Structure 1
Amino acid sequence: MRGIFSRRRGSARRAGADPIEAFWRWWADDGEELLTEATRAGDFDAYVDVMTRRVRAIARGLEWETRTGTDAEHTLCVSSGGDASLRPVAERWYRASPPPGPRWDFVPARSAKPDMLESSITYRGRTFDLRRTRVHAAVTRAGDGFIVSVYNPGFTGQWDDEYGLCVLLLEWLLGEDDVERWVRRVDCIARDVVDSIPAAELPARVADLARTLPAPDWLLMQGTLGAGDPILVRVLRPLRWIDHPRFDLHTALRVPFDADGQGLPRPAALDDLDDLEDSLVKALGIRGMLVAAETSRGVRTLHFYSDSEDQNGRDVLDAAARAQRAVTARHALDPGWKKVRDFA
């Protein structure tokens, strides 16, 4: 790894010229040549400030780094640094990038770099022998991820200093997105535990779990509300925002229906609800997705996610609300899918 650079977290600019478009115009005019020459020369001072300003103009908090490329000579990564609110921005930056060439390719998240665990590094003024790192990986109760405890003999229990290194180690082992996908909690431990494993074995443990999980499908759940009213919930499993990083806009579409005495739809109303749902999913296409549906007390709430910068996706749902007076659509930015976390 040749450089990692970041700024404090914040939000993307939404006014004025598109900063992502401006970045790639600069890249085509001057940036690629500047970064190529400076990287080949190992002259960080020649480009760090310039690149940091350009990336910061897209969104405060984005991180960037250069690496030796796999197919190209170099790789440029612009990363959210684990911040869910910035991951869609990094994805848009990547999707707007030019095709990879012989000199540069581009990625929107740090890829795994397990060879880093074969070295010693200096982190916040202290040296750590990463070859001695061990982890304890406990499968969560839901069976869809891990609680990972990270141990290194250099840890002192000063977690404010060492937690960031634990996360960085996991990103080197799994890649940034797979840390979000599979790791539910990260703990730093100052004493090793009996059933820990060498850190290098963690990717295989994750791959084994992934192979056991069923293909994405709908799960139907039934329960009761506080007053005893029944509620039906249909939810897509696995429910992972990281698999759809551009979809940061949550839309709750509330659809009243003709209900029976329990507040559930009568047969004719159920057909109408299903027809509406099917038509919306078809109209959205690849612009968005339905992830959950709640049915109770005479209302079905459909939970959709789409790209907040794609007005056409939002328009599909707004049109459905305008077509029926009682239907309402409520939109909210939700890049980590917190609105549906209870269903996960």
Structure 2
Amino acid sequence: MDRHTLDRQRRAARLAWITLGYTVLVILWGAVVRATGAGAGCGSHWPTCNGEIVPMAPSLNTIIEFGHRVTSGLALPLVLAMAVFVWRAFPRGAAVRTYAVLSVVFMIIEGAIGAGLVLLEYVALDARTARALWIAGHLINTFILLAWITLTAWGAGNRPLPRWLGSGARGASIAAALFGLIVLGASGAITALGDTLVLVGGLSPEEHALVETLVSLRILHPTLAFVVFGLVALAVWASRERPLATRIGKAVAGVFVFQLAFGALNVWLLAPLWMQVSHLLITDVIWIGFVCFAAQALGDRVVAREAAPVLA
């Protein structure tokens, strides 16, 4: 490989990691919007904010919501730039190109879901059951989006990308853990919605069916967390013959243990804003780390320049 091509690949990898970090920040700002009940800060208007392109006399909730819209809007051109850099740096058939395109597609879906939440008024203290389903779907798409960007960044660094065919028990255990992490994340998003409606909005379970359901399911998320931790540990054990993957997996498992304790503290302190945001940040770190682990555990010595089946 000539030096010019190598430099382009390094720039593509650098931009992909920047895109990943920026996307996480946008996600955290979205958590602030939900936790503060500021989702209706721009009313039911989209893409305008209360009928204005730029609000002239914004309230605090409007500033919070509008700030999230601006940062979210910048995420799309950033991921598009990442895809362009990757396509220029790697040849036709490179798996990393596929991941870059999927990143763009799911970023567009992410924006569409956000717009839908606003237009359908599933924001602020809305307590309709459909809102919980949209919130769960939003989180699932977010996780998949982060996976594609992570694999783009990982593969652009010419690291192994996942190959599922012939992976046997190792592949099955990793797939189960990935699925478990997605379900756990969705349940966490729904639990956080319940915290917002009860602790911020003061909604009573006796008066709102959704709130009653969320309160009754409160124990589900931490219980599920222990089950998923077991799946993660099993996946790491099944990949013990891959030294680097094992090191990554053990690091992820260690962060997971910390998250279990941090989550318990979050409940005990009645979910203050900074802990909710921190809890989500740790969740994203665990997910990104496990995706990297999966790529290393299921990959081989073939680098990103060659074609490989996408993670699905």
Note whether the superposition's TM-score is higher than 0.5. no
Which structure's relative contact order is higher, taking Cα pairs within 8 Å and 6+ residues apart? 2
Q: Which has the larger radius of gyration?
A: 1
